[in-house]
């Protein structure tokens, strides 16, 4: 006798679901009472704790209705089933065969098409006694939105929250998925969702990352036919080292003091233990193809700016080694200005310096400025809309190439970035890139917040004037032979230099003098 299939909805994963017998296949009429009695007996028998029960097919918690698969990828489908059971995976009109190993685990890859949907994804055993069906599955681009509190700040706490939430139903091509906080000493095999995949709606968007949502919303407006999947992996107060893999941390010589500190003060329960959030939240996601990463973190690492450069490179390189797309773009949000009263006013600029040096040296990265967004007494500025827009423009220009090259030069998508320095007759000339049609000044004329030093390495305020399209000339009566320049080297400095898109210049330094955080390991 062949029993009909048992279908599991996404919400039933992890529960035992008894086979449902179909009256259509076994008509229960007065003429077949023996069959009815046999069927009743078998149904009761299935409740007994015997070794004959067929194991459910289970998929990782990341798989559910409404999920988004990365387009044009070899997408892994894995899970557990009856040991040694033959399986068939159906998607987009194709079937892929697999066999569960002796421990019940199976894994296959399916080829995803270009953006579109909805599709169904089915996993069924060969005997057609057990089946998982996921519906409303879309194929598009998946972006991981990771970091700490500023990334995690929800739409419900952002600027104009009520209006933003009310209008969220319009964005039907966005799907949202949120991870529960999970720090672990060993790599987790599965994620713990705080919100399974959901269509963008007034309910699902409320507690979702505001930066992530506004980023996805802007992408969706431009990429109308591409579903956008957003994964929120953010933990309040988390450090960069907690998100790095332990292998990449251990392989970075500059981070030896940090690793030694934790070896001497080991606390397996500490959320900021090196590798803890990578193990608990990123490792189980790392087999999942994604389009790229947006990253907003650094506040908890203020005071360790010198170290942060090594941590950021470690983070990016480590993630790229684990995710299927090793060249995925990694877009960073500059930590917003804030007066960290427990640190010197140079502590935040030292971290800004580390962020800028990282994106200048690591391939396929970029950063959006926040010098005009931050509030001196507000560590978590509520205007996440502007940050999301800037991230989206960066991605549209550099990843999707929706902005043609000539236009991109005229309309920059990031702030002016220090590029070169030249000395002449007691003056310094600094040249920038990402200036668009030219540098200009806001707030002050001439631009302020520049300082220069001579051989004595003492910095003094500089008189600045814009020269041509992309340069600023600096001088000071107190510095006869200028040697180095710093810009906005104070966490309360007021930015005044912008490009033609009104994006503020990033703080920078041209010197290699010892920083206040030079010897700070923790």
3-state helix, strand, coil in the chain (%, to 5): 25, 25, 45
Residue 377: its pLDDT value, please?
Answer: 77
**Does pLDDT of 8 surpass 50?**
no
CB contact at 8 A, 337 and 363? no
340, 492, 339, 499: which is closest to 418 by C-alpha? 499
Peptide linkage before 118 cis (omega within 30 of 0): yes
Q: Give the three-class secondary structure for 240.
A: helix
What is the rounded average pLDDT of the residues 261-281? 93
Q: What is the mean pLDDT of the chain?
A: 89
- With a pLDDT cut of 70, the percent of the chain lying above it is 88
* pLDDT 10s digits, 12-40: 333 323 233 233 333 333 334 433 333 33
CB contact at 8 A, 464 and 473? yes
* pLDDT 10s digits, 57-116: 999 999 999 999 999 999 999 999 999 999 999 999 999 999 999 999 999 999 999 999
CB contact at 8 A, 506 and 419? no
pTM of the model: 0.89
* pLDDT 10s digits, 455-500: 999 999 999 999 999 999 999 999 999 999 999 999 988 899 999 9
**Total Cβ atoms within 10 A of residue 77:** 22
Residue 404: its pLDDT value, please?
Answer: 60
Residue 375: its pLDDT value, please?
Answer: 72
Distance CA 153, CA 207 (A): 8
Residue 426, C-beta contacts closer than 8 angstroms, at least 6 positions apart: 475, 480, 481, 482
Residue 49: its pLDDT value, please?
Answer: 40
Q: Which residues of 158-190 are buried (b: 16+ CB within 10 A; e: fewer)?
A: beebeebbeebeebebbbbbbbebbbbeebbee
Residue 51: its pLDDT value, please?
Answer: 40
Q: Give the three-class secondary structure for 316.
A: helix
What are the distances in angstroms from CA 506 to CA 317, 374, 384, 449? Answer: 23, 13, 19, 12
Residue 407: its pLDDT value, please?
Answer: 52
* pLDDT 10s digits, 331-343: 999 999 999 999 9
Distance CA 213, CA 226 (A): 15
* pLDDT 10s digits, 129-167: 899 999 999 999 999 999 999 999 999 999 999 999 999
Q: Give the three-class secondary structure for 236.
A: coil
**Does pLDDT of 11 surpass 80?**
no
* pLDDT 10s digits, 428-464: 999 999 999 999 999 878 899 999 999 999 999 999 9
Q: Find the range with the poorest average confidence among 252-261, 356-365, 407-416, 427-436.
A: 407-416
* pLDDT 10s digits, 161-217: 999 999 999 999 999 999 999 999 999 999 999 999 999 999 999 999 999 999 999
Distance CA 404, CA 100 (A): 49
Residue 326: its pLDDT value, please?
Answer: 81
β-bridge pairing 463-467 and 105-111: unpaired
Report helix angle 384-398 to 210-222, nearest 10. 40
**Does pLDDT of 2 surpass 70?**
no
Residue 25: its pLDDT value, please?
Answer: 34
* pLDDT 10s digits, 351-399: 999 999 999 999 999 999 999 997 767 889 999 999 999 999 999 999 9
CA torsion sign for 367, 370, 372, 376 is: negative
**Does pLDDT of 5 surpass 90?**
no
The residues with which 229 forms a beta bridge, in sequence order, are 142, 175
Q: Give the three-class secondary structure for 83.
A: coil
Burial group, residue 509, by CB count within 10 angstroms (0-12, 13-18, 19+): buried
What is the rounded average pLDDT of the residues 225-240? 97
Residue 402: its pLDDT value, please?
Answer: 84
**Does pLDDT of 409 surpass 70?**
no
With cut-offs at 50, 70 and 90, classify the pLDDT of residue 298: very high
Residue 521: its pLDDT value, please?
Answer: 82
């Amino acid at each position: 006798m062949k029993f009909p299939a048992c279908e599991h909805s996404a919400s039933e994963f992890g529960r035992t679901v008894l086979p449902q017998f179909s009256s259509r296949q076994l008509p229960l009429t007065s003429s077949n009472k023996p069959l009815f009695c046999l069927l009743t007996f078998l149904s009761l028998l299935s409740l007994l704790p015997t070794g004959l029960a067929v194991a459910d097919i289970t998929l990782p918690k990341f798989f559910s209705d409404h999920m988004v698969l990365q387009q044009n990828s070899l997408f892994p489908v894995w899970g557990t089933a009856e040991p040694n059971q033959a399986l068939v995976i159906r998607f987009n009109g194709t079937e892929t065969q697999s066999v569960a190993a002796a421990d019940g685990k199976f894994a296959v890859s399916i080829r995803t098409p270009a953006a579109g949907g909805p599709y169904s994804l089915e996993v069924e055993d060969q005997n057609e006694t057990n089946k998982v069906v996921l519906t409303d599955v879309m194929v598009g681009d998946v972006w991981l939105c990771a970091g700490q509190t500023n990334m995690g700040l929800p739409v419900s706490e952002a600027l104009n929250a009520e209006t933003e939430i009310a209008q969220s139903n319009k964005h039907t091509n966005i799907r949202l998925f949120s991870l529960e906080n999970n720090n672990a000493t060993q790599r987790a095999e599965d994620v713990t969702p705080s919100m399974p995949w959901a269509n963008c709606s007034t309910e699902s968007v409320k507690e979702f990352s505001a930066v992530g949502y506004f980023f996805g919303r802007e992408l969706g407006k431009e990429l109308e036919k591409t579903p956008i999947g957003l994964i929120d992996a953010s933990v309040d107060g988390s450090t960069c080292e907690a998100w790095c893999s332990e292998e990449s941390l251990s392989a970075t010589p500059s981070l030896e003091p940090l690793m030694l500190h934790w070896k001497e003060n080991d606390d397996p329960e500490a959320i900021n233990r090196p590798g803890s959030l990578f193990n608990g939240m990123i490792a189980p996601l790392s087999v999942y193809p994604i389009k790229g990463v947006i990253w907003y973190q650094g506040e908890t690492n203020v005071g360790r700016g010198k170290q942060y450069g090594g941590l950021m490179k470690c983070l990016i390189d480590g993630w790229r080694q684990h995710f299927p797309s090793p060249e995925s773009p990694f877009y960073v949000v500059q930590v917003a200005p804030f007066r960290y009263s427990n640190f010197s006013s140079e502590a935040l600029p030292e971290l800004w310096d580390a962020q800028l040096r990282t994106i200048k040296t690591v391939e396929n990265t970029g950063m959006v400025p926040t010098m005009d967004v931050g509030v001196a007494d507000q560590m978590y500025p509520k205007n996440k809309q502007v940050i999301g827009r800037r991230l989206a423009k960066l991605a549209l220009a550099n990843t999707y190439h929706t902005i043609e090259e000539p236009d991109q030069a005229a309309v920059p998508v990031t702030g002016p970035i220090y590029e070169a320095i030249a000395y002449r007759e007691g003056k310094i000339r600094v040249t920038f890139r990402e200036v668009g049609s030219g540098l200009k000044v806001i707030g002050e004329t001439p631009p302020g917040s520049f300082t220069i030093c001579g051989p004595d390495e003492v910095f003094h305020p500089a008189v600045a004037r814009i020269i041509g399209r992309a340069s600023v000339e600096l001088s000071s009566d107190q510095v006869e032979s200028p040697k180095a320049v710093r810009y906005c080297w104070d966490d309360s400095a007021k930015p005044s230099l912008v490009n033609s898109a009104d994006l503020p210049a990033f703080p920078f330094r041209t010197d290699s003098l010892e920083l206040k955080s030079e010897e700070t390991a923790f």
